[in-house]
C-alpha cells in the first residue's frame, strides 16, 4: 500500500516536472527505488514473523 503510494507520488511529481526532464526522471527513479525498498522491508518483516 505504502509502496504503491510512493510510486504514484513519484510518477505524479515526474508528470508535473515534465518540462525539466532530468528532474522528472530523478523523481521517477527515486520513487521506484523507495517502493522497492519498502516492499523488500515488508517482505523481510513478514518472513521474520513467519519464521
Residue-wise DSSP of the chain: -HHHHHHHHHHHHHHHTTTSHHHHHHHHHHHHHHHHHHHHHHHHHHHHHH-
Phi and psi angles of residue 3, each rounded to the nearest 5 degrees, phi first:
-65, -40
Q: Per-residue pLDDT averaged across 18-32, rounded?
A: 77
pLDDT at 50 over 60: no
Between helix 2-16 and helix 21-50 the angle, nearest 10°, is 180
| pLDDT score of 45 | 76
Query: Cα separation of 50 and 29, whole Å?
Result: 31
pLDDT of 9 over the 70 cut: yes
Rounded to two decimals, the pTM is 0.47
- Predicted local confidence at residue 31, as pLDDT: 83
Query: What integer pLDDT is reported at residue 1 of this predicted model?
Result: 62
Most confident option among 7-11, 20-24, 38-42: 38-42
Amino acid at each position: 500500500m505504502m509502496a504503491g503510494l510512493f510510486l504514484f507520488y513519484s510518477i505524479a511529481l515526474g508528470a508535473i516536472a515534465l518540462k525539466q526532464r532530468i528532474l522528472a526522471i530523478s523523481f521517477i527513479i527515486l520513487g521506484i527505488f523507495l517502493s522497492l525498498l519498502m516492499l523488500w522491508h515488508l517482505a523481510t518483516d513478514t518472513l521474520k514473523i513467519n519464521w
